[in-house]
Amino acid sequence: MRKLLTSRWFIVSVAVLILAAVIILGALPGSPVNFGKISGGMGNLFAPVRNVVNKAFDAFDDYSSAVFDGMAIREENRQLKSEIAMLQYRLRQNEEAAIRYEELKDAFHIRDTFSNFEVYGASILSREADEWFSSIRIGAGEDTGLYYAEGLSYVIVDVNMNLVGRIISIGDYESNVLPVTHEGFAVSCKVNEVNSSTYILSGDSELKRQGLCKITGINSNNIPDVGSEIVTSGEGGLFPEGIPIGVVESVDTSNSMNIVAVLRPYSNMYDLQDLFILVPNEAPEVTEDGGESVED
């Protein structure tokens, strides 16, 4: 008996069986055991180490920049000075335009894309984008004011306000983000022009490997052109209208009943440094048809 218990194959078999049970139990809808919540606090263990590693790399980067980039920095500095002068000139012009815009906005009740949202920054704790693991973990959770509610999910954008994904689970201090390229992601979208038809953008297991998404629900009379910019349509209320997603890379019209376009998202998962969470100012109101609206 002792020989059996210490047998390596026995240990591996038992461990695999237990883990299989844990995986299945955790994946069942309405599972009573929330393993994600149990393990959520463990992410905090890595926070101090991550900070030390980041600081060490930053220090190394600074040092190597000081040694090797002197000439390049001087040249860049010269170019930046002339660029600042140009930008200051444009800023003066834009200040005038901004005043005019505010006047028009009040007069015509124009809504800013993010006027109903607070924008919070969050650091990336981890990211994986392979066949097994495909999610981003960010350093913002219930402590930042995020909370779970039926029909509510938070939109994640990058520093250029391009769509990155949405939050799918919220912990005490951290949250998991589902990226746009994941098969489980879907959003209503349109070409970034007035009166464009809406399509459905979703992830695809095959395209994910190339960092791409697919667009379906395309009407043969309204096919998006290759190179056109795709933005969120705002339908459903979860995502505000006008968030840039990416550009159409190709369109397959071989089957007129199922026209599929391929989109290259602006945000590249591995290039992301900081993320921003769009938090609605008001709690969303779930409508009868399952969508929700954000009150002004």
Partner 1 sequence: MEERALKTDNIPLRKILVYLIYILILPSLQVLLSGRISFFGHPADLMLIFVVLTGFLYGFYDGIAVGAIVGLARDVLSPVVINGSEQEVSVSFGIGILVMMLGGVFGSLFFEGRTNRNFPLALAAVVSYSALYKILGNAISILWQNLFVGGASNTDILSILLRSVLPALFINAVAVIPLFLLLRFLGPVRWTKKRGKGGKELTYGDSGKWLTI
- Binding positions for partner 1, rule: CB under 8 A: 6-8, 11-12, 15-16, 19-20, 22-23, 26-27, 29, 35-36, 39-40, 42-43, 45-46, 49-50, 53-54, 57, 124-128, 130-137, 168-169, 176, 178, 182-186, 202, 204-207, 209-211, 214, 216, 260, 270-273
Nearer to partner 1, 179 or 280 (CB): 179
CB of 272 to partner 1, least distance (A): 7
Sequence letter at residue 124 = I
Residue 69 C-beta: closest distance to partner 1, Å: 16
Whose Cβ is closer to partner 1: residue 167's or residue 223's?
A: 167
Nearer to partner 1, 136 or 223 (CB): 136
Asked if 200 contacts 215 with a C-beta cutoff of 8 angstroms, the reply is: yes
Nearest Cα to 183, choosing from 210, 155, 207? 207
**Strand-pair category, 175-179 with 134-138:** antiparallel
Q: Is residue 199 a contact partner of residue 189, using CB atoms and an 8 Å limit?
A: yes
Sign of the torsion formed by the C-alpha atoms of 68, 74, 79 and 81: positive
In this complex, which beta carbon is closest to partner 1, that of residue 13 or of residue 115? 13
State the DSSP H helix or E strand holding residue 187, giving kind and residue range, or none if neither.
Answer: strand 186-191
Q: Give me the least distance between CB of 166 and partner 1, in Å please.
A: 10
Q: How far is the CB of 101 from partner 1 (least distance, A)?
A: 36
- Comparing CB distances to partner 1, the nearer of 3 and 74 is 3
Q: Is 232 strand, coil or helix? A: strand
Minimum CB distance to partner 1, residue 294 (Å): 21
Burial class (CB in 10 A: 0-12, 13-18, 19+), 167: buried
Q: Which residue carries 């920095």 as its tokens?
A: 73
